[in-house]
Structure 1
Amino acid sequence: MINTVYRLIAPRQIRSDFVDLTIDEERVIIRPTYLSICAADQRYYTGSRGRVVMKQKLPMALIHEGVGEVVYDPKGEYEVGTKVVMVPNTPMEKDDVIKENYLRSSRFRASGFDGFMQNVVSMRRDLIIPFTLDPEIAVLLELTSVGMNAVETFKKHAHERRRTIGVWGNGNVGFVTALILRKAFPDAKLYVFGVQERKNRYFSFADETFLINDIPEDLKLDHAFECVGGRGSEAAINQIIDLINPQGTINLMGVSENPVAINTRMVLEKGLTLLGNSRSNYDDFKKSVDFMEEYDDVRDYLSTIISEIVDVKTTKDMIKAFENDSNNDFKTVMKWDI
């Protein structure tokens, strides 16, 4: 079977390629319905990953956040039209200790092999999860699973004093992580720290929000989550180190292209724990589906961070979505109608 894959071939250039589609009993054919643009996709689209990385990765179909509908299941386990979320992390082995999203052998959609910008996608059946949600909200499941991965890791490693928790970064990752923390630790004081008051207002479920240059002098935190990334991650991490109580946990989630300098002296003096978090696995997705299906208010809150839905029927529409995304506060979603 021939499939059409929409691949980035150079910054801001998308090409339609025809490829053979893999069909066997362990794969289910999914038609994407909604795809969400991530900051990582934008770094490829704009070429900001750098010349060497771009040369290694391209041509490649973007997008690792997507939901779709079953169009063919050779085993008949899924009915045609079943709504499913597609897990982008593709483990190639099992490990009894290391989580699959951290195994160096795992492959990840839109980071080394084709993402979900395709007419149909051939998915391993162990990497799809059915849901009953509105797909316009369910497209945020991958983003939610990243926050779920970090919060679950935090639960395992952080000490039990969890009275005050801070989240640095008022973007997409910060929003979903704070929302998960609100439900996981309802008695904790939840504080959000950002650089834009306009975006801070979206975090109405938090106990309080602060601008990073206007924090009360006596404010202290038991634990913190850094969801800033990029150039701002260094300042965010060091501000957390200043404000966090001894033996607190700093959960790192922001991606930076360059090394950052942190105050290791105070990390040592306070006995802090730094936890790295990246991507997610099947279990994180399953917990995210249950999370979104259980709470009406969670779905309502998530709907507020969808800045724009772009109807996509042509490659010109794809380019429009990526260009618009750079000006949107939160998520740009493509309604995939190719």
Structure 2
Amino acid sequence: MLNTVYQLKRPRQFEAVFKRIVLDESSVLVRPTYLSICNADQRYYQGTRNKKVLNEKLPMALIHEGIGKVVFDPTGTFQVNEAVIMIPNIPQEQDEVIAENYLTSSRFCASGEDGFMREFVSTRPDRLLKLPENINPYVAAFTELVSVAFHAVGRFDRSAHSRREWIGVWGDGNLAYITSLLLKKMFPECKIAVFGKHWQKMADFTFADATYEITSVPAGVSVNHAFECVGGSGSSGAINQIIDYIHPEGMISIMGVTEELAPINTRMILEKGLTVKGSSRSGRKDYEGLLRLYLEHSDIIDYLEKIVGAQIHVRNIKDIIEAFETDIHKISGKTIMIWDK
């Protein structure tokens, strides 16, 4: 059957192309319903990625955060019309040491592989998870982003030392909000301090134990471990400020993405004996763990509803452009496309 795929041909220019789907016995056919725009999608849309990277990866359908409904499943794993979360990471092998999201052989939707901006998505059943009932679909749409934070927090828990009186989170955007929320729920005995640029945004971090503007941190403030959720041009400044405020032998978890090299104070990393750990993407196990956490702490969904931003019905390319342009000018929150294709 022919499938309509909405690809980014070049920055700010989408086109509809038709690709053939082979309905085999091992793949599930899903119709996307709610899609969430990520900063990575915006880097392609605005053309801020390296020109060589753009030339290599475009044309390509964007979006790796989304949910959908099962249309056809010859494997018998799901029921028709069942709501599912789509996992964008597609591993090609298993490794006893390296997680699926770090294997160089893994493919990833909207990064060299068409993302979810399609009429139908044909995928393996292990790349889908049944969406629990009573979860706001606008929140469910960005489950992938939350799973990335869950993955990073899990890596922190397995590696960082046990002195965790204060954990700092640098950043005041969506990733910082989600990461600090998960930290508070997963480690209720720890105190969470948020360090950001905009007090208006940090006012939403009502679950945090303290919030500080990075230009006026009070004397005596320090943390045992820290998460960098800034990314972009602010990565270097955030990491270096963390190095200043973190206790010796603490762990710095780097999550923000930047297109440029970020100079950091390696002398003090050595002097303090710090561990720097990078985390990126997530795998099926992270999604499964996150869904269990939702069941244990149902109020997480309530908090995540606060970062749902613009909600735009998408029926054509003009609507797609409107959604991406709206997302560029947002103050905060996640832009959700109701995918009426």
Cα separation, 2, equivalents of 1:76 and 1:87: 18
Taking the aligned partners of 1:137 and 1:293, their CA distance within structure 2 comes to 15
1:178 aligns with 2:185: no
Q: Which amino acid aligns with 1:332?
A: T
**Match of 1:35, SS?**
strand
- Of 132, 144, 147, which aligns to 2:146? 144
Deviates more, 1:294-303 or 1:155-164: 294-303
Percent identity over paired residues: 51
Structure 1 segment 161-200 matched on structure 2, within 5 A: 161-200=163-202
Equivalent of 1:258 in 257, 260, 278: 260
CA distance in 1 between counterparts of 2:76 and 2:149 reads 33
1:209-224 correspondence to structure 2 within 5 Å: 209-224=211-226
Structure 1: which 5+ runs fail to align? none
| Partner in structure 2 of residue 40 of structure 1 | 40
Whether 1:245 aligns to 2:247 is yes
- The answer for the alignment partner of 1:58 in structure 2 is 58
Bigger mean CA offset, 302-311 vs 132-141: 132-141
Structure 1 partner of 2:285: 283
What is the CA deviation profile of residues 20-76 of structure 1, one whole-angstrom value per residue up to 9, with x for unaligned ones? 013222210001010000000000001110321111000000000010010100123
Aligned residues: 338
SS at 1:80 equivalent: coil
Matched, 1:337 2:340: yes
| 1:219-271 Cα shifts (integer Å, max 9, x gaps) | 11000000000100000000000000000000000001011111011000100
Amino acid at match of 1:318: I
The TM-score normalised by the length of structure 2 is 0.98
Residue pairs, 1:315-334, within 5 angstroms: 315-328=317-330, 329-334=332-337
TM (normalized to structure 1)?
0.98
Is the contact made by 1:141 and 1:289 (CA closer than 8 Å) also made in structure 2? no
* Structure 1: 4+ residue segments shifted above 3 A: none
State how 1:65-80 maps to structure 2 within 5 Å: 65-80=65-80
Which SS does the other structure have where 2:53 is aligned? helix
Structure 2 letter corresponding to 1:315 = I
What secondary structure is seen at the aligned counterpart in 2 of 1:247? Answer: coil
Q: What's the CA shift for 1:90?
A: 0.6
Q: Structure 2 unaligned segments of length 5 or more: list them.
A: none
For 2:327 and 2:22, the matched residues in 1 are separated by 32
3-state SS of 2:248 partner: strand
